[in-house]
Amino acid sequence: MKFLTYLILLIATTCVGQDSKNVVLLDNWNPDTLLSNSTLVKYNDCWGYTANNQEYAIAGSTEGVHFFQIINNKFVPKGFILGNYSSSLVVHRDIKTFSHYAYAVCDEGPSKLQIIDLSYLPDSVHLVAEIDAGFGRVHNIFIDSVNALLYACSVTPIVGGNPTSLIPMRVFSLADPINPVQVYEGPSGLSQVHDAYVRNNIAYLNCGFDGLRVYDFSNPSSPLFLQNIDIYQDQGYNHQGWLTPDGKKYIFGDETMGMRLKSCSVASNHHVTIEQRFGTNFSNNSVPHNIMTTNEYAFVAYYNEGLRIYDIRNGAKEIAHYDTYPVDFFYKLNGAWGVYSELPSERILVSDRQTGLYLFDFDRSVFLKQLPDNITVFPSLLSSGNEITVKIENNITSEFNVEIISSLGQTVGNAHFSNQTYGQFKLPYLAGIYYLKITYIDYLGDEISDIKKVMLY
């Protein structure tokens, strides 16, 4: 049966071409010698690193961690560190960098934290520490470089060679980069923290089926709870998220079939409000995985859908993609796993579970020019029960839909208009902030969405 599954996947992979839009493939590393299971899974996460004006790519596999220098748009191997646990059973391996070190963890087998010295690049890399105490199996890590703190998510300590109970999260000081010191364990009341994003000591914790939590880690040993979002639309397994550089938007995804990505506004007090849901092929049960953002774009490793790029400035419209896993398979968690979009050259790294490490070019400057606002909503401040007008400018469509969303991200009403470029309706709701998601089909046949905020008093 395993051979049959392998054969089916192999035939499908070799017979279907990659679909792409506005993305150029520069290189793909996919050796046929790595350990793999019956579904051809060989790879996991990826990361980028820059030193002395040289760019590097880092990729995890079933066997360990691979390092490449990017030269003339090609991956040039520069080193390999064998994982503390190396096996075809490895599914999760995560890598982050701090100073001139890479930190690697694995969530299978009798694993440890591995610390790898990158200061010898481009000649070589060197394993300088393997740390068991406080680590063991770890699902994901995030490093707050400014405050030298490593956040280890979903930790399963290994004691006497055996896994013990899962701990939601542990935080370690990297004041001495090769001797992490634990400063926190928690939070209480959670079954797990799957992943985290931290900036200026504010931690956005993706907590699986427990939703999203926000904490202030200014005092790392005693963080301050700020917010909990445990009920929202398109909720599933809250997997991972990323904050835009300007701190105004947080994009996260639920690793559950058919659930869309969430675009959130972030207030000055770090309060998160879900404003919009978006995605690709979600009606066919697609699953988003890892995300990185700029102020303008969201880059998503979208499992079976490959790399997907969205313009998040005015709604969230997909503007580019490359399907790294063109197989149309009932299992939706194959394909693109990791994404890294912060190389100075703006080239993009993507790791695909089956087809390896990719290097892409996406010309961001082409899409930087803001288009004029095609939607007007007035008034934006009105009393409950009063009428509001939505107007589509420039006669770009004569049919549109308005979804009314509460500040909790719940749809409380809908209005549809045909054969006209404006619509008027009442908002008979309680006082508060609401969001109008206006959706229409433009002359190119593309679905366009925009979010407008209104306040009822």
Q: Note whether 379 and 341 are same-domain residues.
A: no
Q: Note whether 222 and 314 are same-domain residues.
A: yes
* Beta carbons of 196 and 151 less than 8 angstroms apart: yes
What does the alpha-carbon distance between residue 339 and residue 251 come to, in Å, rounded to a whole number? 14
Q: Note whether 409 and 345 are same-domain residues.
A: no
Q: Note whether 131 and 167 are same-domain residues.
A: yes
* Beta carbons of 156 and 164 less than 8 angstroms apart: yes
CATH code of the domain in which 440 resides = 2.60.40.1220
Give the pTM.
0.80
Model confidence pLDDT, tens digit, residues 269-307: 999 999 999 999 999 999 999 999 999 999 999 999 999
Of 334, 367, 400, the position where a domain reaches its end is 367
Of 367, 383, 403, the position where a domain reaches its end is 367
Q: Note whether 140 and 162 are same-domain residues.
A: yes
Of 367, 392, 410, the position where a domain reaches its end is 367
Q: Which helix (H) or strand (E) holds 13?
A: helix 2-15
Q: Domain total for the chain?
A: 2
DSSP per-residue string spanning 193-243: --EEEEETTEEEEE-BTT-EEEEE-SSTTSPEEEEEE---TT-S-EEEEEE
CATH code of the domain in which 33 resides = 2.130.10.10
* Residue 444 pLDDT level (bands cut at 50, 70, 90): low
Query: Which is more confident, 369 or 100?
Result: 100
Q: Note whether 155 and 215 are same-domain residues.
A: yes
Q: Note whether 325 and 217 are same-domain residues.
A: yes
Considering Cα of 207, then 211, then 212, then 218, what sign does the dihedral take?
A: negative
Residues 417-444, mean pLDDT to the nearest whole number: 86
Give the domain range for residue 297. Answer: 2-367
Which residue's structure tokens are 């701190």?
A: 247
Q: Note whether 396 and 276 are same-domain residues.
A: no
Model confidence pLDDT, tens digit, residues 55-79: 999 999 999 999 999 999 999 999 9
Confidence (pLDDT) at 1: 34
Task: Mark residue 352 as left, alpha or beta (left: phi above 0; alpha: psi -120 to 50; beta: remaining).
Answer: beta
Confidence (pLDDT) at 6: 35
